[in-house]
Amino acid sequence: MITLAGIIGSGKSSLTEILSKELGTKAFYEPVEDNPVLPLFYKGNEIAAKKRAEGDKEATNPYAYLLQTFFLNRRFKMIKQAMQEDNNVLDRSIYEDAIFMKMNTDMGNATKVEYDIYQKLLDNMLEELPYAAHKKSPDLMVMIYVSYDTMIKRIQKRGREYEQVENDPALVEYYQRLLHYYDSWKEEYDASPLLVIDGDKYDFVNNEEDHNKVLNMIEAKLVDLGNLTKEEFSDIKKGR
């Protein structure tokens, strides 16, 4: 089982689709359209910002904890489903989830109490995962690292209005802050082997040579880990 990680616009969903086709396995995608809490979260940001402007420096977003719990529940369900079989690919996983709750807490959108409760819930879920699923952890985590400029270009290309810095200038600071948190996460992650792909260097979606190089890197890592034989790796390359 392979899990993908990376900031907004890094190409997780695209690489998930590429890998699932390459390896002949199922892809699990993070749902983004049917989220009833996300509009409430954005409204909560407006409410908190207004209260802070009026002098309430401790005002929080009343929906930050709710949103992160919503995501956590979905990702727990998704990884349990994926772990029932030996070969699946996830475009985001429960191991990456705490980045956002930590950042919301540091930004004042959530309280320390809410963060502590969330973290205990996450820890309990991770302890239960080996019993609820077929595997203890992913076989490989693939992180796609991109710079701020690359991230913005890809966000603009996919065109979701609520992600555009032109529509919300506050997103500039948010995205730059999130990149910093991902840098820290990359150094601290230890649930499984980690492979970092340079998303600035390799355009695995539009460039065929880069596409093949990235696939070769991931499959060579799977060979090193014993999840793929050299013969299987050779046959997959020939079949492209």
Distance of CA 65 to CAs 34, 56, 71, 72, Å?
18, 19, 10, 10
102 annotated among ligand-binding-site residues: no
DSSP class of 84: T
97 annotated among ligand-binding-site residues: yes
20 annotated among ligand-binding-site residues: no
154 annotated among ligand-binding-site residues: yes
18 annotated among ligand-binding-site residues: no
Residue with tokens 């799977």: 222
Q: How far apart are CA 118 and CA 106, in angstroms?
A: 14
236 annotated among ligand-binding-site residues: no
Q: How far apart are CA 196 and CA 142, in angstroms?
A: 6
147 annotated among ligand-binding-site residues: no
152 annotated among ligand-binding-site residues: no
218 annotated among ligand-binding-site residues: no
81 annotated among ligand-binding-site residues: no
74 annotated among ligand-binding-site residues: no
30 annotated among ligand-binding-site residues: yes
166 annotated among ligand-binding-site residues: no
Residues 6+ apart with CB under 8 A from 84: 133, 134
CA-based nearest residue to 182, from 153, 137, 138, 145 = 145
Catalytic residue positions, numbered: 91
Q: How far apart are CA 216 and CA 238, in angstroms?
A: 12
Please state the three-class secondary structure of 124-192 as a single string.
HHHHHHHHHCCCCCCCEEEEEECCHHHHHHHHHHHCCHHHCCCCCCHHHHHHHHHHHHHHHHHHHCCCC
Structure token digits, residue 62: 């009343």
Q: How far apart are CA 184 and CA 15, in angstroms?
A: 23
Binding residues for substrate: 30, 42, 68, 92, 97, 163
Q: Which residue numbers belong to the known binding site?
A: 6-14, 30, 42, 68, 92, 97, 154-158, 163
Binding-site residues for ATP, please? 6-14, 154-158
